[in-house]
A and B are shown apart, each in its own frame.
Chain A
């Protein structure tokens, strides 16, 4: 059954959903848009496609502590941290965000043992997907078989209709979210049983030959050209929904502190810098090649799918316009 809520009453819905636990929504921060815990009056933007930073940060935050440690004399005590993720709702994820999450799941969740921090956030977060009414010029998710109006793996699918949102539960958790909203929701309008179809462009790309053909391309001169304009910043990796590298550090001093993990980027020199000074990826050429081969060859060889969702974030944000479309084209993946 389709339920419906007026746009003007969304704030009330957010109020109800945030009573359960943190409610993540795309919030404007200056010209940027990121998924952040909602609070009264927060600048929610459910129209812009896509958020500047991908929704991965709900499940793999920029920084997350494992435990605190405290030392007194020869005694060392480890203290667990508060479980902040309980009963969270992530609202407004796009189909490409969810595809990105599938890719992270294979790395963190579907392993033995799974990654505890990720698993906890994943299991305790209900997901409300929002269909894209109109793709951005950067979008090319259709190339990867994604339907921008139908997200896989969500608990609830939402889509804009008239002056409000249609809501359709896809799982029991989704049903529960709907019933918690009670009388705020009406019966869906006639003729709005399904989100309208949307398709993105694909920049004339074709994916045949990737990844099989890439094994022979490791020393291809194409990398010599591609890396040159790269500045060596980590912007592409941090906004990307399928980049998941992290580092571990301690913060504190001998008596007291915490161990945390935080995002790290293969585009940084010190990412592969070894003790003793050796660096197996000494220049930007090796680092650029690694990043794109990870998307186009290493991940697919291991998990069976190209690690790109066509979300277009690297197309939008790279300061020198070096992006995965340019790389796929340079590797010959163009149909024109």
Chain B
């Protein structure tokens, strides 16, 4: 996480300098990055086509949006697209590449080792209301509240998707713009928290997920933001045949989420954008990670989006694969 002792402004300046050159020389026609949003704790996607646009570019602790999701559509308009990639954006890029959703040659990847993005909800709970009350010093956060100064580990305030991320450094890039960092989560122990929260019986699982999924609004933010949801027409919106009613009842919600998550089994890169995007805070990342854990237990270690040449376990067959059909 120690970023060459560059502060974020210096890092932003370095990134801006690198991409400006490529945009002005015509090497890329569009740069996908982040710009400041409405609040200091939000950064939103930036679609930069000019030097003027690039003046708005930022790299701060709130660049959570996974940008790779925008690539397929932008590549249908633009000749060559440059994109800033964190760890999760890079794995999402691999996901799309493996699903043949984009042309590698027409994308220029600028790698950004990610320190993990901060969650405003957690900051607000700790009493941070203004940006000035929060100072980032390496792996610590210095918080100024009425009660005085408090030093806390930065990891206490990460979005859940970032706290659980074992690969904050991009796994693919053409150019790495900042020095690599130290991961804070060991890939081998990434499911430990799930084991601690096992719900052993089907009845317990059903009760828990019914409780969570009954508030689903069917807004499909989880699907729209997902780099593994690549169907041109989702089964949920198909009219002929009609698989899913439009109502917001538990039955419909459960059917949608089960199919969504199974469709991502072994393909989901665990970027957690589904959970971050959910307006009603359903713990969708846990659902995806439970399946990823099952896949590992059944087919051996596999992390989607790490290696585009390694086929997802459910898209391949080996004679030694378990054939776990129950015997009557």
Q: Which residues of A contact B39 (CB under 8 A)?
A: 137, 315
How many B residues have CB within 8 A of the partner chain? 38
A228-B47, A247-B246, A319-B65 in contact; A31/B281 too (CB < 8 A)? yes
Complex contact A62–B224 (CB within 8 A): no
Within B242-287, the residues touching A (CB, 8 Å) are 245-249, 273, 276-277, 279-283
Q: Which residues of A contact B273 (CB under 8 A)?
A: 319
Q: Is A159 an interface residue (CB 8 A)?
A: no
Complex contact B248–A263 (CB within 8 A): yes
Within B43-74, the residues touching A (CB, 8 Å) are 43-45, 47, 65, 69-70
Complex contact A269–B276 (CB within 8 A): no
Q: Is A8 an interface residue (CB 8 A)?
A: no
A63-B247, A63-B249, A270-B237 in contact; A321/B37 too (CB < 8 A)? yes
Q: Which residues of B contact A247 (CB under 8 A)?
A: 246
Of A184-192, A232-240, A298-306, which binds chain B? Answer: A232-240
**Complex CA distance for A207 and B39, rounded to whole angstroms:** 21
Q: Is A84 an interface residue (CB 8 A)?
A: no
Complex contact A317–B215 (CB within 8 A): no
A30-B215, A233-B221, A265-B219 in contact; A317/B279 too (CB < 8 A)? yes
Complex contact B38–A203 (CB within 8 A): yes
Q: Is B212 an interface residue (CB 8 A)?
A: yes
Within A220-234, the residues touching B (CB, 8 Å) are 225, 228-229, 231-234
Shortest B101–chain A CB gap in Å is: 16
Q: Which residues of B contact A231 (CB under 8 A)?
A: 69, 221, 224-225, 277
Complex contact B276–A319 (CB within 8 A): yes
Mask, A233-262, CB within 8 Å of B = 1, is: 111011100000001010100000000101
Q: Is B220 an interface residue (CB 8 A)?
A: yes
Complex contact A29–B219 (CB within 8 A): no
A231-B69, A323-B38 in contact; A29/B215 too (CB < 8 A)? yes
| Number of cross-chain contacts by CB at 8 Å | 112
Complex contact B248–A31 (CB within 8 A): no
**Complex CA distance for A18 and B217, rounded to whole angstroms:** 26
Q: Which residues of A contact B43 (CB under 8 A)?
A: 321
**Complex CA distance for A225 and B276, rounded to whole angstroms:** 24
Q: Which residues of B contact A325 (CB under 8 A)?
A: 38
A30-B212, A53-B217, A249-B246 in contact; A229/B38 too (CB < 8 A)? no
Within A60-101, the residues touching B (CB, 8 Å) are 62-63
Shortest B243–chain A CB gap in Å is: 13
**Complex CA distance for A326 and B39, rounded to whole angstroms:** 11
A262-B248, A265-B219 in contact; A233/B224 too (CB < 8 A)? yes
**Complex CA distance for A320 and B32, rounded to whole angstroms:** 13
**Complex CA distance for A228 and B76, rounded to whole angstroms:** 13
Within A294-336, the residues touching B (CB, 8 Å) are 315, 317, 319-323, 325-326
29 A-B residue contacts at CB 8 Å?
A29-B215, A31-B280, A31-B281, A32-B280, A34-B280, A52-B280, A52-B281, A53-B217, A53-B280, A62-B217, A137-B129, A225-B47, A229-B44, A234-B219, A235-B221, A238-B217, A247-B246, A249-B246, A249-B247, A263-B217, A265-B219, A270-B237, A270-B239, A273-B239, A319-B221, A319-B273, A321-B42, A321-B43, A323-B38
Binding site for B on A (CB under 8 A): 29-32, 34, 52-53, 62-63, 137, 203, 225, 228-229, 231-235, 237-239, 247, 249, 251, 260, 262-265, 268-270, 273, 315, 317, 319-323, 325-326
Q: A-B pairs with the 9 shortest C-beta distances?
A: A319-B277, A31-B281, A233-B221, A321-B44, A321-B37, A32-B280, A62-B248, A231-B224, A234-B219
